[in-house]
């Protein structure tokens, strides 16, 4: 008989000198990794259950807990690494495809970390953002790209296509109600409103309670069309057609029936307990002309008052695809890089399909410029924007704005345990269990998101001031403000930046 026991990845290390047996950890761990032994009046643990979410570590009143990486290992092998063997063994036992969540943890190059930002010295003064106006407001949308018209009085006709008005070029990207909790959504919606930015419903429809935040909401239309109706489209400030997601390009979504509880079933407009399956393609979009039709039917439905975003995953041929979308009537293209998060995705796809957002963004921006149509469409980059420097670099590469999601969840308490697909998120985010959801206080959550974006805004202004730039538009596509370190010729060419020192 073959035994499939795999030694746990993590060990819960409890300092028994400090533990006062309050049993808080036991109550807080939805994975049931902490167990009280009545006989000895002592805590013990089941390491196999621990997903390393750090909930117990942060709540233990005596700081008696830490989670350590288990030292267990097979014979050292650079090729057949531990995790590769473990995944294989699991599949040999189960016969199933592996499922993961959040962005890929694999050590692919992070180009943000190989780009450096410029600052002025002598020939050009830096600007102090505390003393001088520093503009980070971004109008996100299309411009017609045709010669302006004048009225009979000689004045310019000032009509422009609808746009989003961002107080800072950061938005919360799509996370559906269902994949994340009511309280998580509530936090995002409130924060977006307070910040003067936008959050995105994802493909799960819009809960009635959040209709009040419509002015700061991007409503998504995905292949499953869950929760899409006239009122929904009218409610949002913009409509996003989701063609793909960076973490799982080429496949759809799957929300298991057990998560389709009453509230979610109503919002998604599907029966309780049925699996919510979004097909891989939109069944009415098999080519760019079909996309154009959907773009225009959504525009017709909303009387051309809202910008339409088309969101795509960063894949090999991204520049040509984006160029097609730019001509399809879309106002904004959102590109999601392969390091972007997900509530659940097949592991193999998450870890091996797609390309990094930095390269995708640079390639798309360059291609649209070569074709002379960059100004006819807004460009949003997402898929692992981790801090304000990443935002500055993305904008300098050519983005109008960025989407953040994992970063926003981290602000809400997520500790990146990557087990969202289990539905037992101890932080009340990726779960629908009422006892867990209530751990996230939406007011506090919103405040933390506001804090995060405000802090980034300050940092962005400081970096802009250093470059002597006082309006975000002048940073956009300003690749001379970037230099690469440790990049080869091909990478530099695609990014369109020079090497540091050059």
Partner 1 sequence: MNHRPPRLEGQDGLRIPAGCAISAFINKDGTRTSGDVIRKSIAVMHERSNGLGGGFAGYGIYPEYKDYFAFHVFYMSTKAKDECEDYLERNYDIINLSKIPTRKHKNITDAPLIWRYFVLPLPTKLDACQKTADEFVAHAVMYINTNIDGAYLFSSGKDMGVFKAVGFPEDVGEFYQLENYAGYAWTAHGRYPTNTPGWWGGAHPFAMLDYSVVHNGEISSYDANRRFIEMFGYDCTLQTDTEVITYIFDYLCRHEGLTLREAASVVAAPFWEVIGKTYDYRKREEWEFLRRAYSSLLITGPFSIILGYSGGLMALNDRLKLRSMVVGERGDTVYIASEECAIRAISPQLDKLWSPDGGEPVIVTINN
Specify which residues 12 forms β-bridges with: 67
| Residue from the set 3, 76, 155, 303 that interacts with partner 1 by CB under 8 A | 155
Query: Given the complex with partner 1, which of 82 and 118 has the nearer CB atom?
Result: 118
489 binds partner 1 (CB under 8 A): no
Specify which residues 35 forms β-bridges with: 44
Q: Which does 478 bind (CB under 5 to 8 A by kind): ligand SF4, partner 1, none?
A: partner 1
Listed ranges 92-100, 133-141, 168-176, 407-415: which one lies at the site for ligand SF4 (CB under 6 A): 407-415
Query: Given the complex with ligand SF4, which of 28 and 86 has the nearer CB atom?
Result: 28
62 binds ligand SF4 (CB under 6 A): yes
Q: Which does 242 bind (CB under 5 to 8 A by kind): ligand SF4, partner 1, none?
A: none
CA-wise closest residue to 198 among 380, 416, 344, 330: 380
| Residue from the set 471, 492, 494, 500 that interacts with partner 1 by CB under 8 A | 471
**Residue 447 CB, nearest approach to partner 1 (Å):** 26
| Residue from the set 228, 377, 417, 481 that interacts with ligand SF4 by CB under 6 A | 417
Q: Which does 56 bind (CB under 5 to 8 A by kind): partner 1, ligand SF4, none?
A: ligand SF4
**Residue 431 CB, nearest approach to ligand SF4 (Å):** 7
Burial of 387 (0-12, 13-18, 19+ CB in 10 A): middle
Q: Which does 470 bind (CB under 5 to 8 A by kind): ligand SF4, partner 1, none?
A: partner 1
Query: Given the complex with ligand SF4, which of 350 and 479 has the nearer CB atom?
Result: 350
Q: Which does 105 bind (CB under 5 to 8 A by kind): partner 1, ligand SF4, none?
A: none
CA-wise closest residue to 174 among 112, 111, 243, 110: 243
Neighbouring C-beta atoms of residue 433, cutoff 10 Å: 16
Specify which residues 14 forms β-bridges with: 65
With a CB cutoff of 8 Å and minimum separation 6, the contacts of 405 are: 172, 173, 174, 175, 340, 341, 382
How far is it, in rounded angstroms, from Cα 21 to Cα 36?
8
Is 197 within 8 Å of 452 (Cβ atoms)?
A: no
Is 358 within 8 Å of 337 (Cβ atoms)?
A: yes
288 binds ligand SF4 (CB under 6 A): no
Q: Under rule CB under 8 A, which residues in 295-314 are in contact with partner 1?
A: none
With a CB cutoff of 8 Å and minimum separation 6, the contacts of 385 are: 170, 357, 391, 394, 402, 403, 404, 407
């Amino acid at each position: 008989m073959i035994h499939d026991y795999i030694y746990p990845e993590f060990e819960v290390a409890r300092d028994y000198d400090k533990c006062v047996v309050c049993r808080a950890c036991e109550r807080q761990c939805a994975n049931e990794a902490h167990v009280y032994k009545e006989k000895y009046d002592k805590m013990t643990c089941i390491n196999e259950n621990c997903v390393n979410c750090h909930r117990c570590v942060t709540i233990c009143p005596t700081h008696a807990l830490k989670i350590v990486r288990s030292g267990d290992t097979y014979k050292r092998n650079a090729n057949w690494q531990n995790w590769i063997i473990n995944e294989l063994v699991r599949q040999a036992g189960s016969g199933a495809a592996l499922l993961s969540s959040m962005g890929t943890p694999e050590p692919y190059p992070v180009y943000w970390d190989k780009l450096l930002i410029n600052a002025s010295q002598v020939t050009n003064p830096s600007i102090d953002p505390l003393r001088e106006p520093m503009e980070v407001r971004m109008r996100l949308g299309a411009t017609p790209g045709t010669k302006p018209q004048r009225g009979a009085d000689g004045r310019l006709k000032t009509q422009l296509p609808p746009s989003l008005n961002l107080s800072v070029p950061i938005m919360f990207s799509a996370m559906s109600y269902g994949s994340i909790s009511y309280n998580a959504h509530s936090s995002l919606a409130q924060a977006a409103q307070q910040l003067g930015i936008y959050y995105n419903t994802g493909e799960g429809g819009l809960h009635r309670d959040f209709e009040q935040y419509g002015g700061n909401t991007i409503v998504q239309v995905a292949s499953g069309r869950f929760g899409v109706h006239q009122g929904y489209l009218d409610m949002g400030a913009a409509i996003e057609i989701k063609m793909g997601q960076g973490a799982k390009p080429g496949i759809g979504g799957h929300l298991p029936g057990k998560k389709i509880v009453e509230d979610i079933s109503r919002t998604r407009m599907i029966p309780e307990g049925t699996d919510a399956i979004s097909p891989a393609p939109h069944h009415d979009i098999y080519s760019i002309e079909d996309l154009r039709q959907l773009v225009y039917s959504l525009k017709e439905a909303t009387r051309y008052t809202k910008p339409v975003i088309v969101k795509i995953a960063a894949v090999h041929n991204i520049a040509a695809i984006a160029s097609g979308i730019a001509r399809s009537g879309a106002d904004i293209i959102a590109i999601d890089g392969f390091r972007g998060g997900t509530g659940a995705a097949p592991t193999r796809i998450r870890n091996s399909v797609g390309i990094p957002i930095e390269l995708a963004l640079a390639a798309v921006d360059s291609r649209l410029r070569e074709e002379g149509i960059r100004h006819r469409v807004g460009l949003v980059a997402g898929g692992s924007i981790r801090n304000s420097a990443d935002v500055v670099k993305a904008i300098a590469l050519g983005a109008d704005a960025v989407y953040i999601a994992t970063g926003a969840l981290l602000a809400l308490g997520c500790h990146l345990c990557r087990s969202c697909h289990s539905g037992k998120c101890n932080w009340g985010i990726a779960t629908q269990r009422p006892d867990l959801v209530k751990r996230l206080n939406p007011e506090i959550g919103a405040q933390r998101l506001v804090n995060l974006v405000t802090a980034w805004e300050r940092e962005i202004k400081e970096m802009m001031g250093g470059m002597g730039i006082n309006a975000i538009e002048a940073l956009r596509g300003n690749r001379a403000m970037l230099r690469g370190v440790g990049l080869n010729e091909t990478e530099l060419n695609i990014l369109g930046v020079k090497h540091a020192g050059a």
